[in-house]
A and B are shown apart, each in its own frame.
Chain A
Amino acid sequence: MSKIVRTVANQLILFVVIFGLYVIIQGHVTPGGGFQGGAIIASGAVLLIVASGSQEIKTWLRERRLSVVESSGALLFILLAFAGIGTVFFFNFLVGSRLFGGIPSVGPNPGDVWTGGVIPLMNLGVGLKVMAGLSAVVLALALFSGGEELEE
């Protein structure tokens, strides 16, 4: 693509990432969540691939590294679920604790990020996973359709 497109894309990517992180972190207060935020960030990766071409992207972003991030996100999710096994698997053990432990009053209220127990952390795990997974697939398909051989 032309230099204008590349420059604009490089500036825009910051906003895309910030918006995606916002959607992930605020998932338990406002509409959104890990899946949605991760998909937004992955769309930023698509923007970069379209603007600069997969050949340039692959010098610093490879699908193998992305799949490591993806596995870590999935592990974070399942470990958070495991952590509740003192009571029951998937028990929301952080409600009332120091970390994200606030309990909102029942009914309409202004909302607070510091609530939700494990939900924000799980959102983060899913967000990492979806972001890395979708970007990896898009990158792999872009490289593959360019006739590139992927690494193992």
Chain B
Amino acid sequence: MRQFFGWLSLVVLMVFLVIGALFIMRPFGEPPSVMDDYIIDNAQEEAASNNVVAAVLFDYRGFDTLGEATVLFAAVTGALLVLRASHKKEET
């Protein structure tokens, strides 16, 4: 019973935060974003790419893409490490 009320209060709190935040958020696209306009106007010239999304991914925010690729790299390395054979190991 205590556990149930604990979970309930957690859910209520989260719903309050998330739904509350959604209600007082500004409408989508308002106010007009200076950053977006700059990128849309200049991507073809600066990054020489017709696909503005690709320009953002690899030019304007390329470092984030490098980071996300590294997240995947870490996940794969970690999965292979955890699933590795353990029988060759000796006592430490």
Chain A residues within 8 Å of B, Cβ to Cβ? 27-31, 33, 63, 67, 70-71, 74, 77-78, 81, 89-90, 92, 95-96, 101-107, 109, 111-112, 115-119, 122-123, 126, 129-130, 133-134, 136-137, 140-141, 144, 149-152
Question: Do A28 and B80 touch (CB < 8 A)?
Answer: no
Residues on B with beta carbons closer than 8 Å to the beta carbon of A28: 49-51, 54-55, 58
Q: List residues of chain B with CB under 8 Å of any chain A CB.
A: 44-51, 53-55, 57-59, 62-63, 65-66, 69-70, 72-73, 75-77, 79-80, 83-85, 87-88
**Cβ 8 A contact of A122, one of B46, B58, B79, B88:** B58
Count, A-B residue pairs, CB within 8 A: 120
Q: Which residues of B contact A95 (CB under 8 A)?
A: 46-48
B69 contacts A102, C-beta separation under 8 Å: no
